[in-house]
A and B are shown apart, each in its own frame.
Chain A
Amino acid sequence: MSSTGVVVDDLGLPGSGNAPADHRPGRGHRRRRPPSVPPPALAAAGRVVSRAGGPALAVTYLSLLVLLPLAAVVAKAFSGGWSTFWAEVTNPVAVSALELTLVLSAIVAVVNSIAGLAISWVLVRDDFPGKSLVSAVIDLPFALPTVVAGLTLLTLYGVNSPLHVDLAGTRLGVAAALLFVTLPFCVRSVQPVLAELDAETEDAAASLGATRRQVLFRVILPSVLPSVLAGAGLAFARAVGEFGSIALISGNLPFKTEVASSYIFGLAQSDDFTGASAVSVVLVSIALVVLLVIGWFRRRFDIPDTI
């Protein structure tokens, strides 16, 4: 038992939190030494790195790779002044593309969140021959290059479809492609959390008289809800930015099936980089807001680690 109470800020990394307990006299020599003690130099380096360096390093990496380049895009978007920016983003084709993208991505995120939860459930709690094979195929939509995914989806769901559907040039076709590429997120976000769920709490609830249904809705689902929301956020964000796999099946018709990423591509190809940046800024801003809202809900359901 720690006499210092709960340390909420304890990172577990060298240097953060309280002084290590092994310096207390009389405490150290009776415990069994762990088989591999890191050499003092490494431990010291680790302490330095994480004390201030950890977060700073992370933010630097994020900045170099993402934040700085995106700042350049924002600068480009406004390089023609506010009036140019406004004209570009209120262009009817742009508005239609943005609307289509955001609505479809939201629908796809919701559908796949439910599907992902169901799939994770079956993978973690059910057992049947071939289950590991099923688990392996989940990541494949992701490993397929988007151009091949696009071509395959067109051949499978297009005019000469062996499945006798014709989704080419329809919004349903775009949705099908988005469902395909975002499925791995929704499954892999929930699966590890579901697997780590402790049987004890469920057993305790059952022994206190909770029905199976109550255990499901009041114990299990609230625990996995943050990860479901995380998966939904990932799926939404990916769907919003997706281009290659929907390019062929969508038919790219303005006002009907042209998504924002394709419209942006068109602007970039026409050398209208200001316009491309402007529409991108709007798209990313809206996506960011959605992600912030999802994050807020996640934190609401995430009970803090205090005892």
Chain B
Amino acid sequence: MHRKPLHSGEPLGAPARRLRLGRGAAIGALAICGLAFSALPAGASGGSVSLVAYSTPKPAYSALVAAFAKTKAGAGVTVSSSFGPSGTQATSVVDGLPADLVNFSLTPDMTKVVKAGLVSSSWDRTATKGMVTNSIVSFIVRPGNPKHITTWADLVKPGVKVITPNVFSSGSAKWNLMAAYGAQLSLGKSAAQAQSYLTALLKNAVAQPASASAALQTFLSGQGDVLLDYEDDGLYAKSQGEPVSVITPPQTILIQNPIAVTKTASPAAKAFLAYLLSPAGQTVWGKQGYRPVLPSVAAKFSFPKPKTLFTINKVGGWTTVNTKFFDPTTGIVAKIEQSLGVSTASS
């Protein structure tokens, strides 16, 4: 082994010590900052709301919180918000993430929180059945729709490149596939034929990113001819100047996003929820690209009307669908992926 000569004549202690002192001082300063930081007062005079939501409506909530602050009920209320993938957010709330108001992208995530005893089981016994916004599954295509993709049949034509998120990691993907399946049923196809359609659709998938936003990024990078996504996501991208066109399929599923206050919610949170469901709040939602749940407000917007619009109940309701289609080992989609993989997997 090599040996190094002894360190004679080399200046040693001073620079190392200075560095350490400096580092120590910096650590001390930052630690004090940090303590002050985390000891910030919880709420201002008007109360506070801890909002936990899925990731898509973040820009919408910026507008909604600002508008709410201008109302009497919302004056002085601080809203602290957390956004993330719907499933993860629900699990976090169960694991102890502080929440007054929860808004998820699909009902099973709300059910998780209800089962954990954090939200009342009568959360959906409201005028809007617990929903705050609607949307539909749309086709996102390149500007001008160069490949003329307008129907579900177009998606399974040879050579058409589809992007849809991975159903096991994304709630959005589940809506997409149920829209496809339900569309086939409403066209008069049998369950077996509808399942073959799903196989053909997934065969045409050139990417199955882990989340809806990753799917959008993939599409915007130039991959694929069509992206299956929420209509509000497509409209938002368009409003941000991204080169997309939003096509409404003739048959599609109604996406309903649940919202509820937790059992320990502050009065300010209840007021905020009331605002979100009020005509004023629903108008703001509408302007952000979400279909309002209040019919009176919905009438003021001109969202495209698909010929056939069905809900998740048409295909059996979420509880059935989650097991029958999306169970990671025994579900229909898992079996389809395996059959596709076995036939196309290269060694």
Contacts and interface: CB of A to CB of B under 8 A. Distances in A.
Interface of A: 35-36, 87-88, 91-93, 96, 151, 154-155, 158-160, 168-169, 196-198, 200-201, 223, 247-248, 251-256, 258, 262, 265-272, 275, 303, 305
Contacts of A96: 341, 345
Contacts of A253: 205-208
B72 interface: no
Interface residues of B, number: 38
A251 B112 CA distance: 29
Contacts of B85: 269
Contact of B342 (A92, A266, A303): A92
Nearest to B13: A36
Contact of A35 (B13, B207, B208, B218): B13
Given A253-B208, A275-B328, A155 B1 contact: no
Contact of A270 (B3, B328, B337, B342): B328
Given A93-B338, A169-B223, A255 B214 contact: no
The 7 closest A-B pairs by CB, nearest first: A255-B341, A159-B222, A266-B168, A251-B207, A266-B169, A160-B222, A198-B2
B75 interface: no
A248 B218 contact: yes
18 contacts: A91-B328, A92-B342, A96-B345, A151-B217, A169-B206, A247-B210, A248-B209, A251-B207, A251-B208, A251-B218, A254-B208, A255-B344, A255-B345, A256-B344, A262-B169, A266-B169, A269-B169, A272-B328
B81 interface: no
Contacts of B169: 262, 265-266, 269-270
Contacts of A92: 338, 341-342
Contact of A168 (B223, B329, B337): B223
Contacts of A93: 334, 337-338, 341
Contacts of B170: 269
A36 B17 CA distance: 11
B223 A251 contact: yes
B328 A266 contact: yes
Given A254-B341, A266-B166, 20 more contacts: A93-B337, A93-B341, A96-B345, A159-B221, A160-B222, A168-B221, A198-B4, A223-B2, A248-B217, A253-B208, A254-B208, A254-B340, A255-B337, A255-B342, A255-B345, A256-B344, A269-B85, A269-B87, A269-B170, A303-B1
Interface in B225-273: none
B308 to A, nearest CB: 29
A272 B170 CA distance: 14
Contacts of A36: 13
A271 B222 CA distance: 32
A267 B328 CA distance: 7
Q: Which of B2, B4, B345 has the most CB of A within 10 A?
A: B2
B113 to A, nearest CB: 12
